[in-house]
Amino acid sequence: MARKPKRDLTVEEQLARGPLDLPFLMLTMLLLGVGLIMMFSASFATAYYNDGDPLVYIKNQAVYAAAGVVVMFLVSKINYQTFRLLSVPGIVAAILLLVLALSPLGVELNEVKRWVRIGPIQFQPSEVAKVAVILFFATRLSKRDTEKKKKWSRRTLTGRTLERLDRIGFLELVPYGAILMVIALLMLMEPHMSGTILIMVGAASVLFVSGINLGWFIGLGSVAVLGLAVIIRFTDYMTRKMNLWLNPWDYPQEGGYQIIQSLLSIASGGLLGNGLGNSIQKFNYLPEPENDMIFSIVVEELGLLGGGLVLLLFALLILRGYWLARDKFGTLTAVGITTLLAAQVFLNIGVVTNLIPNTGISLPFFSYGGTALMIQLAQMGIILSISRQIPAPKKD
């Protein structure tokens, strides 16, 4: 009886065959578990003083963590090529949510309007914008090698000008630059400088890996640095941040109080720490110990050694995320999400150690914030979805 020839497997069939990348999954779950333990330790004093229940923060975070894990696994089961279809609706939704945050329907906290409340859920639209920009850029740039180049008439000045601009890659960058400008403008109106920087970093990583000429990064990077300097110089909000960063000890009872307490917390931990749960700074000395400043509590309780191990886990997760790239779209998406994670970790650690000015960026998997945690786990699910794509077997 003649054997039927084997057919090539479809993308969906390949995806069904591929297992989740176990190292990436285990690193994610390990960071999540350690993060929940440290968030409980850092938050129970604040929760007791503010709400009378030391478990209120950890209970909320645990519920969101459980939901986030479910979302991560559901996303990981999706063929990651499907995310191409969500790129345009995603970027439109992100822009609309940013506009909504600035409207009377937005939620204002600490004199900034960065939040939107939909029913019982309150979140920052910037978290949605981060993923939306990466998916949109990855979708369009994954096709750049196969798209036909436009031909411009050399008979007119306009045609010759457009041809030159096309040759140096300017026209290709116009739609990406326009989207980034709109999103950056909306976020700076909140104001949310740190979120703007994260989105720019994620977008730049996708553009760089796609093969955009390095000269554009040097030129546009210089313009961005100049623009940031102007914003800092002529914006009271940013000028104050810079002064507090450079001289926190000059403002011990004002804006410099938080970073001073953070440095004292880190210093008191020493090499081995004071023991899990034994932080002193979290008892109404260090503001936001369960949120932006949680790494200070980690070092105070677990010491320099424990803090170093947490950073090692993040480093391994980031390296694994870069390694899991597959085809062009998968590579651009994985690089964008992984770079976003790396930048967020660097900026948060930089703040708590006063290496950089206070940016208000949380530490992934550790800081309190349910919706942010769910979105982070969903991003990990996208990378796990990419990891499931394995090559089809060779034909006989």
- The answer to whether residue 349 scores a pLDDT higher than 50 is yes
Residue 316 has pLDDT above 80, yes or no: yes
- Share of residues in the chain with pLDDT > 70 (%): 88
Query: Which phi and psi angles does 85 have, rounded to 5°?
Result: -70, -20
Pairing state between β 112-118 and 106-109: antiparallel
- Mean pLDDT in residue range 207-222: 82
pLDDT at 252 (0 to 100): 76
Q: What is the mean pLDDT of residues 358-376?
A: 89
Per-residue pLDDT band at 168 (split at 50, 70, 90): low
**Angle at alpha carbon of residue 9, lines to 6 and 14, rounded to 5°:** 140
pLDDT at 337 exceeding the cut of 50: yes
The token pair that represents 302 in the structure block: 């677990």
Does residue 163 or residue 141 have the better pLDDT?
A: 141
Report the 3 state secondary structure along 288-356. CCCCCCHHHHHHHHHHHHHHHHHHHHHHHHHHHHHHCCCCHHHHHHHHHHHHHHHHHHHHHHHHHCCCC
Question: Quick one: average pLDDT of 332-358?
Answer: 93
- Examine residue 191 and say whether the peptide bond preceding it is cis (omega within 30 degrees of 0): yes
Say which range, 60-69, 106-115, 350-359, has the weakest mean pLDDT: 106-115
Helix and strand counts by DSSP (H, E) for the chain: 14, 3
The fraction of the chain above a pLDDT of 90, given in percent, is 47
Which of the residue ranges 58-62, 90-94, 144-148 would you say has the lowest mean pLDDT?
A: 144-148
Q: How far apart are CA 118 and CA 315, in angstroms?
A: 35
Residue 266: its H or E element: helix 257-269
What token pair was written down for 333? 């998406």
* Dist CA 221 CA 207 (whole Å): 13
Can you tell me the distance from the alpha carbon of 84 to that of 82, in angstroms, rounded to the nearest whole number? 5
> Which pLDDT score, from 0 to 100, does residue 239 have?
74
On whether the CB atoms of residues 178 and 171 are closer than 8 A, the answer is no
pLDDT band at 394 (very low <50, low <70, confident <90, very high): very low
pLDDT at 257: 86
Per-residue pLDDT, averaged over 118-133, amounts to 86
pLDDT at 134 over 90: yes
- Check residue 297 and give its pLDDT: 96
Query: pLDDT of 148-167, one tens digit each?
Result: 666 666 667 666 676 776 66
User: What amino acid occupies position 152?
Assistant: W
Average pLDDT of every residue of the chain: 85
Beta-ladder partners of 115? 107
Q: Which of 13-22, 88-97, 262-271, 295-304 has the lowest mean pLDDT?
A: 13-22
> Structure tokens of 195?
């979120």
Distances (CA, A) of 169 to 144, 152, 220: 11, 14, 13
Per-residue model confidence as pLDDT tens digits over 104-113: 878 877 777 8
* Amino acid present at 220: L
Query: Do 70 and 308 meet the contact criterion of CB atoms below 8 Å apart?
Result: no
Distance CA 182, CA 187 (A): 9
Dihedrals phi, psi of 360, to nearest 5 degrees: 75, 30
Q: How many residues does the chain have?
A: 396
pLDDT at residue 224 in the model: 75
Greater model confidence, 155 or 126? 126
Which residue would you say has higher pLDDT here, 50 or 377? Answer: 377
pLDDT band, very low/low/confident/very high, at 132 (cuts 50, 70, 90)? very high
Question: For 267-300, what is each residue's pLDDT tens digit?
Answer: 999 999 999 999 999 998 898 899 999 999 999 9
Does the pLDDT of residue 255 top 80, yes or no? no
Please write the tens of the pLDDT for every residue from 184-204.
899 888 878 788 889 999 999
Which 3 state secondary structure label does DSSP give 116? Answer: strand
Residue with tokens 């955009």: 212
pTM (two decimals): 0.87
Closest CA to 295 of 384, 368, 378, 209: 368
**Phi and psi at residue 106, in whole multiples of 5°?**
-75, 160
CA 175/CA 187 separation, integer angstroms:
19
Q: In whole angstroms, what is the distance from residue 304 CA to residue 171 CA?
A: 49
* Strands of the chain, DSSP E: 106-109, 112-118, 121-123
Report which listed range, 83-87, 187-191, 220-224, is most confident.
83-87
In angstroms, the Cα distances linking 135 to 131, 169, 183, 214 are: 6, 21, 15, 22
